[in-house]
Amino acid sequence: MVTIRWDIRTIDRLSMVEDVLKEFSCCDINIISMKVTPGRILIKSWCRHLQDISSVQKRLCQRADIINVTYLSEDMTERSSSELARPRYFSDIICSSPSMQSLIEKAIKIADSKYTVLIRGETGTGKELLARAIHNSGQRRFYPFIPVNCSTLPETLMESEFFGYEKGAFSGADSKGKKGLFEMADHGTLFLDEFGEMPLNLQVKLLRVLQDGGIRRVGGAHIIPVNARIIVATNANLEEMVELRQLRADLYYRINVLSLTIPPLRERPEDITLLIRHFVNKYAREFQRRLILDRACFSFLLRHRWPGNVRELENAIIRLMLMSECDVITMDDLRLVSLPVEECSNIKRETTFPFKEQVQHAERKIIEQMVGENVSSRDIAKALGVSHTTVLNKIRSYQLEGVN
């Protein structure tokens, strides 16, 4: 990361500062501090992409009210050569592990391809973040990126949401008709998250769109051509779903053209260190405080299995920012971020009680309690922040019964 000090000489005008800030907002440059004096604006900023520095300078110099722009590069923090060479849209994916570097290299190669992409990964690994990076680094970035979570759409509304409808197609329909998600994503990208939740009747219609490149609105008679790239994301075992006839085999082979798998956070501990520092720095500015993790706490976070992956880690840092009373975080503070207390106290006894078994034991107790209270599997999924399919797989693996 480069720290840049800017010296901008301008004419005296009240709105001049606002005009200058607009130019900075167009690039990935964060302003740390600013001082304004008559005819002069001094700015300290940090910059992730070196090309943005010259871009901002050029934009500023094009303004007639700005007399002169100079800048000084103060320092640069350590960054790997692969990260420096990474296209800007992938730089938001914080990582240094070989597995993630390899994944990003594959994603860059297929960014401009027209074929369907299947992104696999556990919950919280950043599947949508990767999908957006693929979209934004290709030619389709000039057109919409439309994300839709298949598990949140009511099954009765799915067809009209995806394909739209003609006026008067059904009671309560808009008098002018409505475009569906495929039409909205024309020439852009349609991102289907939680793909494993898509019902069979809609799978047939999706397969037809992928084969023919066109949709027919509900109540319509004509085929409307669409050119939307499909990116599918799931944490479900699609091969098992095909065997159980929950997913059409022909649709599975249609979407499984270009496949990317995001490794879970527990398999790339070097990324945990980067992410902890990234989130601490990110939220330090928002909450106006600086946290320091002591050695035992930092070591524990590195060894935690993070079943919720990056999302769980980020939420843990946010809760620490909000709830910890001291700026030095210790093991006692980890109770505030909903990590099991026994997990913290037994960290040194892994040889007698393996860490993986601790996590599974805690997970089973939570699900078993909710099952005992006659909570439906869909409500359990909502409470835990995972997909319905994940809960069903857990219930099956733990041999729990009595779920609605």
> What are the domain boundaries of the chain?
2-76, 83-261, 274-339, 355-397
What percent of the chain has a predicted confidence (pLDDT) above 70? 82
Split at pLDDT 50, 70, 90, the class of 359 is: low
What tokens appear for 97 in the block? 């592990």
Split at pLDDT 50, 70, 90, the class of 262 is: very high
Using alpha carbons, list the distances in angstroms from residue 134 to 128, 137, 140, 189: 10, 5, 9, 10
* CA–CA dist 158, 41 (Å, integer): 53
* CA–CA dist 224, 163 (Å, integer): 10
Q: What is the mean pLDDT of residues 63-70?
A: 83
Residue type, 364: R
Could you tell me which residues are beta bridge partners of residue 260?
Answer: 119
Half-sphere exposure of 151 (CA within 13 A, CB side): 20
pLDDT for residue 297: 84
171, burial (CB in 10 Å: exposed 0-12, middle 13-18, buried 19+): exposed
Q: Is 3.40.50.300 the CATH classification of the domain at 83-261?
A: yes
Ramachandran bin of 259, using left for φ above 0, alpha for ψ from -120 to 50, beta for the remaining angles: beta
What residues have CB less than 8 Å from 78, skipping those under 6 apart? none
Residue type, 275: L
245, burial (CB in 10 Å: exposed 0-12, middle 13-18, buried 19+): exposed
Residue type, 26: C
Residue type, 273: T
Using alpha carbons, list the distances in angstroms from residue 286 to 59, 125, 289: 28, 23, 8
What tokens appear for 110 in the block? 């297929």
* Range list of H helices, 214-354: 238-243, 249-255, 269-287, 295-303, 309-323, 341-345
What does residue 147 show for φ and ψ, rounded to 5 degrees?
A: -90, 140
pLDDT for residue 42: 87
Q: What is the mean pLDDT of residues 166-185?
A: 76
* CA–CA dist 181, 391 (Å, integer): 28
pLDDT for residue 167: 77
What residues have CB less than 8 Å from 305, skipping those under 6 apart? 266, 355, 356, 359
What would the CATH number be for the domain defined by 274-339?
1.10.8.60
pLDDT score of 173 more than 70: no
* Range list of H helices, 110-244: 127-136, 158-163, 181-184, 200-212, 238-243
What does residue 324 show for φ and ψ, rounded to 5 degrees?
A: -70, 140
3-class state of residue 98 by DSSP: helix
pLDDT for residue 348: 43
Q: What is the mean pLDDT of residues 276-287?
A: 87
Classify 2-76 by CATH class: alpha beta
pTM (two decimals): 0.64
pLDDT score of 224 more than 80: yes
**Taking a C-beta distance cutoff of 8 angstroms, is the pair 247, 256 a contact?**
no
What tokens appear for 240 in the block? 């098992």
Split at pLDDT 50, 70, 90, the class of 271 is: very high
Q: Give the chain's radius of gyration (CA, Å).
A: 25
What percent of the chain has a predicted confidence (pLDDT) above 90? 27
In this structure, what DSSP letter does residue 93 have?
S
Using alpha carbons, list the distances in angstroms from residue 290 to 233, 277, 283, 286: 35, 11, 9, 10
**Taking a C-beta distance cutoff of 8 angstroms, is the pair 71, 6 a contact?**
yes
Half-sphere exposure of 379 (CA within 13 A, CB side): 8
* CA–CA dist 379, 143 (Å, integer): 36
**Taking a C-beta distance cutoff of 8 angstroms, is the pair 300, 334 a contact?**
yes
* CA–CA dist 104, 133 (Å, integer): 10
* CA–CA dist 282, 290 (Å, integer): 10
**Taking a C-beta distance cutoff of 8 angstroms, is the pair 1, 47 a contact?**
yes
N residues, the chain: 404
